[in-house]
């Protein structure tokens, strides 16, 4: 039996991406997001136009898409409620966002120079993709944007590459960090409490209640 439900958002979760973009002062902003998909050599991201990332990419279209796995969940969560925008939008401020100009340090991650773009990637990321924005389009209520990013180079941890098939990633070894409705999952399990879920006032899951002893 099914119910007709007016969902708060049609957001079912995708792999977590840490998006590196270049600030006006040439430093790198790092932003976690999880509305992303890929087709051939193009990545499509969905983000708010009010984010520092979209602001950066509208003016300086180079970026690095750093995919996260379960080992990076703590780092991702530490910066989930941080923004690289000093003039924090009131909506984000109400949800607990704070300004942080150095998210690499805040997350405990290591910056690494890229080959083709003037933006740093995340050393700890098992898969990172250097790309250039080809199109930014408004959608929905006008505050959201889709970003089409052409990928020009992909760096993959050697142990994720299939032997004798170096243009394939082993799907058994690659276990991406997934954000489903603002909660962190890997291997089909909830693996870490989510600051973002609390900021967006999502109801606690049974597993979280058990972890918190409630």
Q: Split the chain (214 residues) into runs of 10 and give each run's mean pLDDT.
A: 84 90 96 93 93 96 97 96 89 88 96 97 98 93 91 96 85 91 86 82 64 48
Threshold 0.85, pTM exceeds? yes
Q: Is residue 7 part of a domain?
A: no
Q: Return the structure tokens found at 177.
A: 């960090």
Q: Is residue 64 part of a domain?
A: yes
Residue 82 to residue 107: CA distance in whole angstroms: 10
**Residues 109/93, Cβ–Cβ less than 8 Å:** no
What is the pLDDT, as a whole number, of residue 5? 86
Domain count, the chain: 1
Residue with token string 């995340």: 122
Q: 74: phi > 0 → left, psi -120 to 50 → alpha, else beta; which?
A: alpha
Q: Is residue 70 part of a domain?
A: yes
Q: Is residue 4 part of a domain?
A: no
Q: Is residue 34 part of a domain?
A: yes
Tell me the CATH number at 29: 2.30.110.10
Instruction: State how far Cα 57 lies from the chain centre.
Output: 15
Q: Is residue 26 part of a domain?
A: yes
Coil, helix or strand for 160?
helix
What is the pLDDT, as a whole number, of residue 214? 42
* Domain carrying residue 56: 14-211
Q: Is residue 2 part of a domain?
A: no
**Residues 93/49, Cβ–Cβ less than 8 Å:** no
What is the pLDDT, as a whole number, of residue 207? 58
Q: Is residue 127 part of a domain?
A: yes
């Amino acid at each position: 039996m099914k119910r007709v439900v007016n969902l708060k958002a049609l957001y079912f979760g995708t792999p977590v991406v840490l998006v590196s973009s270049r600030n006006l002062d040439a430093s790198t902003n790092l932003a976690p997001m999880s509305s992303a998909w890929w087709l051939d050599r193009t990545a499509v991201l969905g983000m708010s136009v009010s984010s520092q990332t979209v602001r950066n990419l509208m003016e300086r279209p180079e970026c690095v898409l750093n995919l996260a796995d379960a080992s990076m969940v703590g780092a991702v969560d530490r910066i989930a409620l941080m923004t690289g925008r000093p003039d924090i939008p009131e909506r984000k401020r109400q949800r607990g966002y704070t300004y942080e100009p150095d998210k690499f340090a805040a997350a405990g991650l290591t910056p690494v120079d890229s080959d083709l773009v003037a933006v740093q990637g995340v050393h700890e990321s098992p898969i990172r993709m250097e790309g250039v924005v080809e199109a930014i389009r408004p959608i929905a209520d006008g505050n959201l944007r889709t970003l089409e990013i052409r990928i020009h180079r992909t760096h993959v941890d050697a142990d994720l590459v299939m032997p004798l098939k170096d243009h394939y990633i082993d799907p058994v070894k690659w276990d991406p960090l997934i954000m489903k409705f603002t909660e962190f999952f890997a291997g089909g399990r909830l693996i870490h409490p989510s600051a973002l879920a609390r900021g967006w006032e999502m109801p606690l899951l049974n597993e979280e209640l058990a972890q918190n002893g409630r």
